[in-house]
Structure 1
Amino acid sequence: MLVVRLIFESFRFAWNALKMNLLRTILSLLGVTVGIFAIITVFTLVDSLEKNIRDSLSFLGTGVIYIEKWPFTPDASGEYRWWDFWQRPNVSYNEFKFLQTNLKAANGMAIFGIRNNSIIKRENNSISDVELCGSTYGYSELFEIELDNGRYFSQIETESGRNVAVIGHNLVNALFPDGSNPVGKEIKIKNLKYVVIGTMPREGESFLGTTSHDDLCIIPYSSFRKLYQTGTGSSDELNSRIGVKGQETDIGLVELENEITGLLRSRRGLKPKQDDNFALNRPEAIANIIGGLFDVIGIAGWIIGGFSILVGGFGIANIMFVSVKERTNIIGVQKSLGAKNFFVLFQFLFESIFLSVIGGLAGLLLVYLITFIPMGNLEVVLSVKNVVLGLGVSAAIGTISGIVPAAIAARLDPVIAIRSS
């Protein structure tokens, strides 16, 4: 009951301070409001940017290791040795079959090649800038291909290289403008007929403008090899990659990476002292680089907002010193009636925290209003984590700013306090 009484009295005094000295209080709390607004705005934008970028990179899959010629990032020294990487052989279908037979730590596997800017036709309709992907059956396991009509191709269709295709939303609209069902209909890729067996739902444009399934056409890898040269002798434009999905129990995919390295080095006849002539890429590497950049931006937000909060803290401390002076008589009466020092201490301390939290709430409200401003493909969301952070920082500033005035009030002599005018 004592705690409830303390909080109630503190709220009452804080509210009276707001009403009696509205302009002074608002100006004093402005620093906290601006500080919380600056910090939480930066964190909200950073979190939203990071989420949108990670979503844009979702086409790379999760928990996957890619075996290919070119690494995603520079080496440990920060140097990207493109000349050495250029001389590496491309991965081949035979290497894929070898790994598929011998890998024990894999939970899914596929080899696929991409041909950008492809043209696909049907009767008098055509569409360019298509991303043509030739893949083995496991591609759907790596990227969780979602279909809204039809089916994905079977293992038999993959191995035999049947001319079947799964197409994205934009291809459906361009090749079947009459709204007819594409499944079972023929399309042409490099003048070869392919039967559409499935379609993918609309995904829309991502924040970074990265590839989506809307402009994607998937055909079996063996059929893709009839159209374009793949393997070690292919050009970089048609560089295939092998994607291997790890098991959930393999934390960090350490076991999978070690097994791939050992098998592929053995397959390519590399000696112990020779460097790997292949790259094992992970989508997490790009995400970590992005995360490091956003950490720096977050620190900048703390620095910018910190100065405003510091000013706001002095403003709240000023309010509390004035409040102690104005209520010296009341403090004396309370103490003469038996109020303990800690009662007076917590009364002023809660009042300081309450005032600071009001300033923080005003800052959070401004941040919330920002989320309604259209920012193109960037979706800005004020998360619960940032709301809690803003309120926590406000409460901490209120505690720090109010502790000295509250301690002074608690140590006042009741006789002297009553006599003061």
Structure 2
Amino acid sequence: MLSIKKHEYFDGLLLIFLIVITSDMPFQLILPALPVIREYFGASVKLMGVAHTANFVSLALSSIIYGYTIDVFGRRRVMIFAFATMIVFSIAIVTVKTVVSFIVLRFLQGISEGVGLVLAYTLIRDMWNDDEHKLLCAVSYVKSLYSIIPLVSVLMGAVLVNYFSWRCVFIINTFLSGWALYMVLFSFEDKFVKPDDCSNSIYEVVKSYGRILLNANTLHYLSILIMTFSWLSASTTHLPLVFLEEYHVSYTTYTICFFMYTGFYLVSLFCVSNYFSKRFSSDSMIFIGLASIILGEGLFITCNFIFDNKLHPYVLEILWIPQAFGLSCLFATLMTELIGSVNSSDVGKMNGMISCMKLFIGGISIFIMSNLYDGRVMSISLFVLLCNVINIFLHMFFVGLYRRKDMVKQS
């Protein structure tokens, strides 16, 4: 496992933050630059879509690969490889002259970026497995960072494109990757010990992932997490259309709404990690989270129906405060429980599986929502409600299953 030489909490979080930023920010940062890049290469919209999809697919596939390799070869070796190749590919993208080269390099860059999706929570488990409060706080901090990155990335990307060049996007990524590589090389040591029963065969890889999925606790928390990512991906993709087309708000108003919701979410994460987690069990936190989301969505639907879609967008965001609180409860609790539900030798595989499933299920749910979306917010809200009702039943089923097992043991 990876340990901090000076055992400093700040240094550990700094490395994890760099890993998250270098893996997630390039994907977000490039969005404002896509029209400029398309114009530079003289490419069609479809080709630029292929470039974006190539990066998305390589992220998903590489997360499964990294999930296994970090549990076999150690955290440090894999990080050195990923950050070094990320630097090479980022520099190479700056020099490309054709759109085909750009697509290929974006695919390769996605393979390097995928390490962050797996390693962030793996390192949290490695560093603070013995301190449950620090573990939960670290998970909350990382989830907060994932919420902030899209906001910062879009603003930064727009500034870079307008005042400098689209190449600056990848220059920044090169700098961040170099910083992370420096920290791994000189500030951290890897105490990873390869398991004696570890095999590199494809059969053993599949078997190890199957072993994780057959764990009842893992299946419980993973199913709820994936279902949550499903509706969240679908709603966040289509809500801009709702605000801009159905409510006819300006981009400025929509941006303010986005900041409001993110602010509610971050405050909720702070409250959950510092107060609620100490007073409620994980099962209670999950139930509170799901109930809060249903409450928030119910308020939203009811008020929209009563006022005939004439409420101000800021009021709508306030109605979603329970949903933001519910999401913070779910993400903080589910991720903490998931990384704690497996052996230390399977933590990487667990995070790899979560990342891969999140990306693929998110893509599928976006496709489903695109077919259900009728231009009104109600279709999105009903989809959110349906997913969370399913989550409630899933949670009740597994909690009941645990109780029956306990009764059998006691008898």
* TM-score normalised by L of structure 2: 0.25
Higher normalized helix content (fraction of residues): 2
- Determine which structure has more spread, i.e. the larger CA radius of gyration: 1
* TM-score normalised by L of structure 1: 0.24
